[in-house]
C-alpha cells in the first residue's frame, strides 16, 4: 500500500511541496519583506488579508503583541542579513553544543536502523548526518567570513582610536567564542561514538577534523590581520597627532622658520639623538713599512707574571691524606684480585669471600671486602664475567621491609 501515513516517499513529497510554497511566498512578497527589513515594521499597505495570514502561518512574519505592528521573524531577518552580508545585523553564532547533541542522537538512530536492517531509514539518517555536519561547518565558515568583512569595513575604517579599540575587543570576544565552540568538538568521543563504521568515521572524524583544521587556520589569520590593522592605526594616529601639534604651533608662531641644524655647532638635545660612534682599529700586517714598528710594540708588551702557589701545612696534609687513601684502595683491589686468582687456581671450586678473608688474615672490614668483590666482578668485561659465577647469600631484612641483606658472596668458575 502506497501513499499511507507512514510512507516515507509521501512524507518527502509533502515536505518538498510545503517548502516550495513557503519559498514562493518569500519571492512573491520580496519587496514588502525588504521594506520591513529596512524599517522597524512591515508595511501592510501592499498586503491583502489573505497574504498576511499566509505569511503569519508560514512564520515569515510575526506580531509581538496585539497593539504592535507586524515584524519580520528573527530567522528571516538573519537569513536576509546573511544573504546581503549586512555586517551590522549578522551574528557570529555557532551553537556547537546543540549540534553535537543532535549528532549523537542521529548516530544512535543510524545504528538502530543498521542493526534492524532498515536500509532506507539508515540512508536517511546518514543523509541527515551529512547535512548537520555541513551546517556546522557552514556556521563556522560564515562566522569567520563575517569577521573578515568586519575587519575590512567597520574595523579598518573607523576614525577614532576609542572606536577602534572597542571594535577590536568585540572581534576578540567573538574569536574566543568561536575557539571555545571548536574546543567542544572532542574527536576521542567521536571515535568511540562511530566505532568501526567506515562511513561514519569518514564523515565525523576525518572529514570534520580536516574542516576544523581549516577553521583554526582561518581564525589565526583573522587574529594576525586584526593585530596588524591595530598597529597600523596606532602609527597613523601618532603621525596625525604630530602633524596636528605642528599645525597648532605654527598658528601660534606664524613667523617661525626652521633652522639649518646641520650647520649649527650646538645641536638641540631633541634632534641630537644619535649615539656616538667608536672607531675600530686593527694592525695592518700587510704594510711592510710598519713591520718594525709592530715588532717593537710586541717586544714592549709586559710578560705575564707566573707565581707558584706556596704549599701550606694544610695543603701538604690534604695531599698526604689523598695519597694514603689511593694507596689503601689499590691494596684492597690487589687483595680482591688475589681472591679471584685463588678461585681460578683451585680448579673452579666455589669459594666463600668471607672465608678467604678470615684465612688470609686481612685487616679489611667484611662489608667493604664484600662490596669490593662484587664491584670487581661487575667491572670485568662481559666475556670474563661469563667465566665466573657469583652467588650472593642474602636474606630479607624483615617481613615488612623488602630490603635484601648480603651476608656472603660465593665465587666459582663456570664449567
What is the secondary structure of 192-222 as a DSSP string?
Answer: HHHTT-HHHHIIIIIIHHHHHHHHHHHHHHH
Mean pLDDT of 65-84: 70
Report for 66-75, 272-281, 321-330: range of highest mean pLDDT: 321-330
DSSP state of 64: S
- pLDDT for 1 equals 36
Please tell me the predicted confidence (pLDDT) of residue 415: 65
Percent above pLDDT 70 for the chain: 86
Confidence class of residue 315 from pLDDT cuts 50, 70 and 90? low
CA 205 – CA 53 distance, rounded (Å): 46
Question: Mean pLDDT lowest for which of 37-41, 47-51, 212-216, 228-232?
Answer: 37-41
Q: Of 86-100, 164-178, 275-289, 392-406, which gets the smallest average pLDDT?
A: 86-100
**Residue 3: per-residue pLDDT:** 44
- The Cα–Cα gap between 50 and 43 comes to 15
Residue 289 pLDDT exceeds 50: yes
Portion of the chain with pLDDT greater than 90, in percent: 1
Mean pLDDT of all residues in 83-100? 64
Maximum separation of any 2 CA atoms in the chain, in Å: 126
Q: How confident is the model at residue 365 (pLDDT cuts 50, 70, 90)?
A: confident
Mean pLDDT value across residues 320-328? 81
Q: What is the pLDDT of residue 67?
A: 63
pLDDT tops 70 at residue 88: no
- 133's enclosing H/E stretch is helix 119-151
Q: What is the Cα–Cα distance from 108 to 122, expressed in whole angstroms?
A: 11
Angle at 93 between CA 87 and CA 96, to 5 degrees: 160
Segment among 3-12, 119-128, 293-302 with least mean pLDDT? 3-12
Q: Which residue has the higher pLDDT, 82 or 142?
A: 142
Mean pLDDT value of segment 249-269: 80
With H, G, I as helix, E, B as strand and everything else as coil, classify residue 389: strand
Read off the C-alpha cell for 11. 512524507
**pLDDT beyond 50 at 328:** yes
CA-to-CA distance for 26 and 58, rounded, in angstroms?
10
| Per-residue model confidence (pLDDT) at position 2 | 40
Task: Encode pLDDT of 383-393 as tens digits.
Answer: 888 888 888 88
More confident residue, 335 or 294: 335
pLDDT for res 5: 43
Distance CA 145, CA 91 (A): 11
For range 287-306, the mean pLDDT: 78
> Cβ(410)–Cβ(352) under 8 Å?
yes
Once rounded to an integer, what is the mean pLDDT over residues 161-184? Answer: 79
Residue range 186-231, pLDDT digits in tens: 888 888 888 888 888 888 888 888 888 888 888 888 888 888 877 8
pLDDT value of residue 79 = 74
Average pLDDT over the chain reads 78
Amino acid at each position: 500500500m502506497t501513499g499511507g501515513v507512514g510512507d516515507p516517499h509521501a512524507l518527502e513529497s509533502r515536505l518538498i511541496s510545503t517548502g516550495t510554497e513557503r519559498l514562493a511566498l518569500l519571492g512573491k512578497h520580496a519587496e514588502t519583506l525588504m521594506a520591513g527589513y529596512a524599517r522597524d515594521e512591515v508595511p501592510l499597505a501592499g498586503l491583502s488579508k489573505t497574504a498576511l495570514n499566509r505569511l503569519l502561518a508560514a512564520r515569515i512574519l510575526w506580531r509581538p503583541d496585539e497593539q504592535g505592528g507586524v515584524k519580520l521573524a528573527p530567522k528571516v531577518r538573519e537569513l536576509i542579513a546573511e544573504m546581503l552580508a549586512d555586517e551590522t545585523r549578522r551574528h557570529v553564532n555557532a551553537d556547537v553544543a546543540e549540534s553535537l547533541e543532535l549528532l549523537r542522537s542521529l548516530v544512535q538512530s543510524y545504528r538502530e536502523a543498521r542493526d534492524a536492517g532498515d536500509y532506507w531509514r539508515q540512508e536517511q539518517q546518514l543523509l541527515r548526518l551529512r547535512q548537520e555536519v555541513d551546517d556546522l561547518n557552514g556556521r563556522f565558515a560564515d562566522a569567520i567570513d563575517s569577521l573578515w568583512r568586519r575587519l575590512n569595513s567597520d574595523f579598518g575604517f573607523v576614525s577614532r582610536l576609542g572606536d577602534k579599540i572597542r571594535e577590536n575587543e568585540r572581534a576578540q570576544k567573538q574569536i574566543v567564542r568561536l575557539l571555545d565552540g571548536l574546543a567542544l568538538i572532542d574527536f576521542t568521543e567521536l571515535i568511540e561514538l562511530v566505532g568501526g563504521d567506515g562511513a561514519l568515521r569518514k564523515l565525523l572524524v576525518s572529514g570534520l577534523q580536516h574542516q576544523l583544521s581549516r577553521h583554526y587556520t582561518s581564525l589565526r589569520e583573522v587574529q594576525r590581520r586584526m593585530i596588524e590593522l591595530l598597529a597600523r592605526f596606532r602609527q597613523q594616529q601618532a603621525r596625525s597627532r604630530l602633524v596636528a601639534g605642528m599645525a597648532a604651533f605654527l598658528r601660534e608662531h606664524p613667523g617661525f622658520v626652521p633652522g639649518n641644524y646641520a650647520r649649527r655647532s650646538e645641536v638641540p638635545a631633541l634632534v641630537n639623538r644619535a649615539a656616538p660612534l667608536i672607531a675600530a682599529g686593527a694592525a695592518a700586517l700587510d704594510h711592510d713599512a710598519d713591520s718594525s714598528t709592530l715588532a717593537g710594540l710586541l717586544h714592549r708588551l709586559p710578560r705575564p707574571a707566573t707565581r707558584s702557589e706556596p704549599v701550606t701545612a694544610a695543603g701538604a696534609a690534604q695531599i698526604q691524606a689523598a695519597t694514603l687513601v689511593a694507596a689503601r684502595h689499590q691494596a684492597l683491589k690487589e687483595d680482591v684480585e688475589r681472591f679471584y686468582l685463588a678461585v681460578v687456581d683451585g680448579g673452579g671450586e666455589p669459594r666463600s669471600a668471607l672465608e678467604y678473608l678470615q684465612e688470609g688474615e686481612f685487616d679489611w672490614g667484611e662489608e667493604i671486602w664484600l662490596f669490593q668483590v662484587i664491584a670487581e666482578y661487575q667491572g670485568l668485561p662481559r666475556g670474563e664475567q661469563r667465566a665466573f659465577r657469583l652467588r650472593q647469600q642474602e636474606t630479607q631484612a624483615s617481613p615488612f621491609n623488602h630490603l635484601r641483606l648480603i651476608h656472603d658472596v660465593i665465587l666459582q668458575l663456570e664449567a
